[in-house]
Structure 1
């Protein structure tokens, strides 16, 4: 391989330093997280290297701070504030006081409890819609349980779609310049999207927990079981949760109802130790905050990083009118820290939450909207249930079984948060390179993985791959893999499906379906 990536990100260290000196965020640094999640191979270069790199050919330059994509075929502009918009939607604004409620009464977030959705950046008026087939609200929504009717919901993953707008421009620029761009599918080859179910142990009622275990067995789903301080289940119930294949996790409580149930690093550390002792598991990977509690902007992620929590799933709705995608995403991502930490990547994955307790805290009409958007964007749909409702409310238990079956019907697999964390971190260790092979119409693909990845879907945006191409045209000439033409994000791509061992694997495929 040439050793030159098809994409180069132009980052000016002086521009970054100047922004931080003014106590301003260098939002454009987030461009590398967008590319890293896709696993597009790229190099970071200084501005004075850009001209030579462009002249050498074979590279698309991204100037994230300026909003420009430059290739040998020309230049394309995009909004320079794109990165700020993505991060602000996903991470919200700093939570220091109650947020404003929705005018229609569907989101009474001004409840005196600081939480994630007090920092919403999306608009109640412009970014929500009624679920399909549900009547528009007439008058003020009555926020009661179960909901008397469907409320407007955040029906689109706005941050994900902004990312996708940029990626389409990048792929279009590469296509125009005749540059093949490889990347890595978010999930195993052939899996369009995944689903995740979590459970919160509020109240720690052991009989309710046993009922929940039966419902999850009937649904055929292993859940991430978040344990809430104080108290805990009977020891035999805790053991049974693990025995049935569920993940033991933390449900950090900062609601002020116990001695260490308040907001702060010492309290999180103490509750983490409590969860370790109660579950007998030293390595607690995942957390969700009770009542989606949140304060400030980045400090909770920094605490998680410090203590060893590797994936957090707190950021989601607490009210019926902000279910769906209130933080604009159905994808795993690493958040960025503020100016004090120089906008570095925080080593804690963020797993968005989309709704709580269908048929109780969320109207059942929202289910398919969430599943469809996650499927369209190849993301992960996250549904939360509580044993207290599964135990006492047959409609909630049935909604749990139904969403499990519907996701599977759509081809989505159910994964725990720990599985999601392990997969995403493993795929982040994969680097893909593609270049023309020795023969006409051949493509040589080199994949280097820091850890084994089973069933990886290596994708290549091959210039000229036509809509009319069929999956039977490409063939693998060397290497243990299969290949086909697939559609991802609305684009026709070559997909190489292979079990990747740690180390370097080389494949040669034909791409004879390209147009001339």
Structure 2
């Protein structure tokens, strides 16, 4: 069995030209997506490297708009390679007998014939092509539809066009994938002003406090559904589903060439799905902490406690630690609660946290009231002061619970152009909802649809419960127990933020090197995450021993392997 070699072409000179003029290069985020999936790849930053790369699959992330680059990409396909592009390759449009169109605005892509995703996927930017005529000696395949504005809007063209080129193929998608995924996860602009509120009055984000959810890119009317009890929520993790489209494309393209493309499982052996509960101490009443500890003991789970100044009495922290919970930081930048935004204040409060709790570090942070402004200042402060995970990106209102940032997967955010769009060394673990059944938030009817979507994309079902509500309202107490019971019944294991952060970082150190002479998969760095799972896609005509564990992943049949892999040092 031979493993496909994957490359990402991101022209360094084009990137530098963009940065010089204050433009973002979010196309570099392909590396983060493949790293999260555990797919091995190499990055090419000059067109001259394409011909010498020995690659099988080439993702063209960012290319120069010149004839030389177009010729290098064309030759790669002509010699048998697979070229994959999302919204690019415009220099080749005329040669492929196509006309470049403009999408004009956000819209929805029907990719049901290309994937196991029946819903229309929202996109933020696209550059569709239309076919003028089919050239001689070339086959063309059209798949999916691009709709303008709304799921049933004007059809702009196919979602994907496949062109045979010599011995290879060019697969061009209309959607500009990286600006779409980053836009969902982090917004399209720094947060400098209030967001637009929901027209039904359920999410008044324009209250004069800058927050993470002032920068969402979903549509209040098109992207929310309503539960049987009248709770509106953002129902689909669009960014995660687009990630699936990309990975599925790679796996299927490899198989079409008679190759396989192994990838890593999201969670370790014995863990099917992950749920998380966090608490924000806010009013800091000891009695509420005691009640919360008792509820967690009843539920038999551990959780993450985000502590805000002035905090609890010392005996609370000792019990929290003794019972296996995580003590985390809850940075307060809300002026009405005597906080303000700035690194000096962030550091001062973090020093208070360490002194009060006796902890030498805080692994996790969540900002009070999801307070957020700018683009990446918070992430830089966390990097500088030793915090490795953040949980701030979540809903602050009843009407925007759910997948308002298009994701439930842990991910590393990308910086703005002034830092050359580097990845922050900070793992974001957003949350889906706060305190259910207390009147000012969603009720427990959102639990099952949230769990269903989290399972679908192997994310984290992160729910927030404040200690004060668990103590003062029996409804919040019952809601936590209901969530835990439903999650466990659905195969979820509860982890703290620290456990998730530790696992994701350890798993990222495992690299798939290929197959040895006996056909066994070879991994590097397995000692960092010995419980990791590897999925190996099987070829369409390959006979599979009955002893193998087979599951469909990303739309292809895969063999599941775990433990006792050869290790390449």
Q: TM-score range by the shorter chain?
A: 0.7 to 0.9
Query: What's the Cα RMSD here?
Result: 2.2
Paired position in structure 2 for 1:385 = 465
Q: Does 1:350 align with 2:428?
A: yes
Deviations 1:337-376 (A, max 9, x none): 1011000010000101100012122221111111100001
Q: Does 1:79 align with 2:79?
A: no
Deviation at 1:437, TM superposition (A): 4.5
Deviation at 1:395, TM superposition (A): 1.4
Instruction: State the distance in 1 between where 2:475 and 2:233 align.
Output: 21
Instruction: State the distance in 2 between where 1:288 and 1:179 align.
Output: 43
Paired position in structure 2 for 1:7 = 6
Instruction: State the distance in 2 between where 1:451 and 1:283 align.
Output: 25
Instruction: State the distance in 1 between where 2:435 and 2:173 align.
Output: 39
The answer as to whether partners of 2:331 and 2:349 remain within 8 angstroms in 1 is yes
Deviations 1:67-94 (A, max 9, x none): 9518964221123621011001101232
Deviation at 1:166, TM superposition (A): 1.3
The answer as to whether partners of 1:9 and 1:63 remain within 8 angstroms in 2 is yes
Paired position in structure 2 for 1:16 = 15
Aligned ranges 1:443-454 → 2 under 5 Å: 443-449=519-525, 451-454=527-530
Q: Does 1:69 align with 2:84?
A: yes
Return the match for 1:90 from 164, 177, 185.
Answer: 185
Q: Does 1:324 align with 2:402?
A: yes
Deviates further, 398-407 or 489-498: 489-498
- Secondary structure at the aligned position of 2:183 is classed as helix
Q: Does 1:430 align with 2:510?
A: yes
Instruction: State the distance in 2 between where 1:27 and 1:408 align.
Output: 37
Instruction: State the distance in 2 between where 1:158 and 1:365 align.
Output: 21
Q: Does 1:182 align with 2:179?
A: no
Deviation at 1:60, TM superposition (A): 0.9
Q: Does 1:489 align with 2:554?
A: yes
Deviation at 1:463, TM superposition (A): 2.1
TM-score, structure 2 normalization: 0.78
Paired position in structure 2 for 1:59 = 56
Paired position in structure 1 for 2:311 = 232
Instruction: State the distance in 1 between where 2:463 and 2:556 align.
Output: 29
Deviation at 1:191, TM superposition (A): 3.0
Instruction: State the distance in 2 between where 1:190 and 1:216 align.
Output: 22
The answer as to whether partners of 1:471 and 1:486 remain within 8 angstroms in 2 is no
Deviation at 1:167, TM superposition (A): 1.3
Instruction: State the distance in 1 between where 2:516 and 2:249 align.
Output: 23
The answer as to whether partners of 2:365 and 2:387 remain within 8 angstroms in 1 is yes
Deviations 1:356-413 (A, max 9, x none): 0121222211111111000011111100001111101111111101111111111111
Q: Does 1:472 align with 2:546?
A: yes
- Secondary structure at the aligned position of 1:153 is classed as strand
Instruction: State the distance in 1 between where 2:321 and 2:437 align.
Output: 27
Return the match for 1:217 from 269, 286, 297.
Answer: 297
Deviations 1:165-195 (A, max 9, x none): 1111111211111121011101013533211
Instruction: State the distance in 2 between where 1:126 and 1:77 align.
Output: 27
Aligned ranges 1:20-419 → 2 under 5 Å: 20-45=19-44, 46-53=46-53, 56=54, 59-65=56-62, 68-69=83-84, 73-79=168-174, 81-92=176-187, 93-131=189-227, 134=228, 149-229=229-309, 231-257=310-336, 261-360=339-438, 361-419=441-499
- Secondary structure at the aligned position of 1:107 is classed as coil
Instruction: State the distance in 2 between where 1:422 and 1:504 align.
Output: 22
- Secondary structure at the aligned position of 2:233 is classed as coil
The answer as to whether partners of 1:465 and 1:493 remain within 8 angstroms in 2 is no
Deviates further, 42-51 or 345-354: 42-51
